[in-house]
């Protein structure tokens, strides 16, 4: 959350998380009627699924999202259907997406600046790849980058690609290069945590995306299926050993996401985009 003369929340999560968000804000002494903006790096259900639910209790809040996200925020039925197809029971657990009123949406434009007051200025950069409607936020004064999933996913310090279909490899690499050029000092992942070695981490995920792309497509050409490719990735990328530390529910969630990542990075067998 960014608190200035105006207050902004970023990627508030799915519908199921909204009661916990309200409790956390109440505990911090922040009134719901003091929230000015809900900003979304993209509108996958785990990032924005709770927008329509939350904004009912936030009388002056506006949603800021990519122009391509706007129609799906207003009428989320296609997004909900796609979420169910991709995530199955996980989407059900997240909760069905409620619409956002059309007049509560502000379309984010590239290089747009959002002045929250008290020295807090957020710069918006369109960073497609993980999703066509993806954007990243940069607080230049503090060297703070909120990269959404352009920088991948980070679990216990280990990073992996976030590449669900329809993943765009070249767009993602270009977006990462754009973020590297900002020379951020701190990188905040949507999943999970903030780290000081921002540029090194951006360069690392760029390399890993290319490495995974080569492994996945080489294996797919040889006829391996997604499960076989996941095993191969685990043999070649020891950072995936974090999977061994997860409980059953956590592992099942990661497994679904990793299979989607494999599908997005594959150019073969109808698995990719």
Q: Domain boundaries in the chain?
A: 2-126
Distances (CA, A) of 152 to 54, 106, 116, 178, 195: 26, 26, 27, 15, 13
Assess whether the previous peptide bond of 27 is cis (omega < 30° from 0).
no
State how beta strands 186-189 and 144-146 pair: parallel
What sections of the chain are H helices per DSSP?
Answer: 18-27, 45-48, 51-54, 70-74, 77-87, 89-94, 169-181, 198-221, 226-236, 248-265
Residue 97: the pLDDT is 97
Tens of pLDDT, residues 51-108: 999 999 999 999 999 999 999 999 999 999 999 998 899 999 999 999 999 999 999 9
Do 189 and 199 form a contact (C-beta atoms < 8 A)? no
Q: What was the pLDDT predicted at 267?
A: 83
* Residue owning tokens 């968000």: 21
pLDDT > 70? residue 41: yes
The domain made up of 2-126 is a member of CATH 3.60.15.10: yes
Entry pTM: 0.92
Going by pLDDT thresholds of 50, 70 and 90, the confidence category of residue 205 is very high
Identify the pLDDT of residue 201: 98
Kindly tell me if the per-residue pLDDT of 268 is higher than 90. Answer: no
Residue 151 predicted with pLDDT over 70: yes
In this predicted structure, what is the pLDDT of residue 113?
A: 98
Instruction: Give residue 26's pLDDT.
Output: 96
């Amino acid at each position: 959350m960014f608190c200035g003369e105006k207050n902004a929340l970023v990627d508030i999560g799915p519908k199921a998380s909204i009661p916990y968000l309200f409790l956390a804000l109440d505990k911090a002494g922040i009134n719901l009627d003091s929230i000015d903006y809900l900003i979304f790096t993209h509108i996958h259900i785990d990032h924005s699924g709770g927008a329509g639910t939350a904004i009912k209790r936030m009388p002056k809040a506006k949603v800021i999202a990519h122009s391509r996200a706007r129609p799906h925020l207003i009428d989320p039925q296609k997004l909900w259907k796609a979420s169910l197809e991709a995530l199955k029971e996980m989407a059900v657990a997240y909760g069905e997406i409620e619409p956002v009123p059309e007049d509560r949406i502000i379309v984010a434009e590239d290089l747009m600046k959002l002045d929250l007051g008290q020295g807090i200025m957020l710069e918006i950069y369109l960073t497609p790849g993980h999703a066509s409607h993806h954007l990243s936020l940069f607080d230049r004064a503090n060297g703070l980058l909120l990269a959404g999933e352009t920088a991948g996913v980070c679990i216990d310090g280990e990073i992996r690609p976030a590449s669900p279909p329809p993943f765009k490899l070249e767009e993602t690499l270009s977006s990462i290069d754009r973020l590297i050029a900002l020379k951020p000092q701190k990188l905040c992942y949507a999943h999970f945590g903030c780290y000081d070695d921002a540029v090194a981490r951006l360069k690392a995920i760029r390399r890993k995306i290319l490495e995974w792309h080569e492994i996945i497509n080489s294996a797919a050409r040889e006829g391996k299926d997604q499960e076989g490719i996941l095993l191969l990735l685990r043999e070649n990328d020891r950072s995936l050993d974090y999977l061994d530390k997860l409980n059953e529910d956590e592992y099942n969630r990661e497994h679904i996401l990793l299979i989607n990542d494999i599908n997005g990075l594959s150019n073969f067998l109808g698995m990719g985009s």
